[in-house]
Amino acid sequence: MLGKKILVVDDDVHICELIVLYLKKEGYDAVMVHDGLKAIETVKEEVPHLVILDIMLPKMDGWDVCRELKKISDIPIIMLTAKDDTFDKVLGLKIGADDYIVKPFEPRELMARVDAVLRRYHRQSHGVQQIILPSFMVDREAYKIRIQNQVYELPPKEMELLYFLVKNQNRVFTREQLIEQIWGFDYEGDNRTIDVHIKRLREKLEPIEERYQIKTVWGVGYKFEVMDHA
């Protein structure tokens, strides 16, 4: 991941300089800006690999910046804020943030999160149609999964949902986000249809549930969790 460009957005110049210093020590190419509008402009011009984004910004706050960036790019975003509030965390997830860290923070923790998000994003590179894990394989192109030595065919929407969750393993998505990803923005049905599909997928994953689970994150949504011992 060395050499990747990271944009740091915070109105506190001292914090920006500190983060940039640590990023450069880790081998990243880092740039900084101090307001929301400049952040969007810089992303369009510089095309960074990741954005570290403060919430409280002049001209446009971090929430709106995140929303705008997700409209034009799938660039990963780490939200940075002084508020240790569950509402902020849930909102960040809902609008597409990939991680969230609260000030004051240890620079080493932020560096670890940057590295983790970039590695996860790299593994999710576009064009991959097959995901292979121990005892489990998802083949999006063939609409098949292999659990241990057994192969199953999945209906299209179940496959698309499972593939998306596995591709973004350990990341939480709301029902609304999943509907938009799998059914599209113009879907007019009940978003509880997600629950029905999740139930069917969980039944299929029962033989390997000690390793892999589609977990409910109460008040937020769902995630595909890979257990530490997998």
Euclidean distance between CA atoms 53 and 117, whole angstroms: 14
Q: Peptide bond preceding 104: is omega within 30 degrees of 0, i.e. cis?
A: yes
- Quote the tokens at residue 115: 């590295």
| Closest CA relative to residue 12, chosen from 58, 45, 77 | 58
210 exposure class (CB count in 10 Å sphere: 0-12, 13-18, 19+): exposed
pLDDT value, residue 134 = 82
pTM of the model: 0.55
- 3: confidence class by pLDDT, cuts 50, 70, 90: low
What does the pLDDT look like over 172-212, one tens digit per residue?
898 888 888 888 766 666 777 889 999 999 999 999 989 99
What does the pLDDT look like over 4-51, one tens digit per residue?
889 999 999 999 999 999 999 988 999 999 999 999 999 888 778 899
Q: Is the pLDDT of residue 230 over 50?
A: no
Euclidean distance between CA atoms 136 and 116, whole angstroms: 23
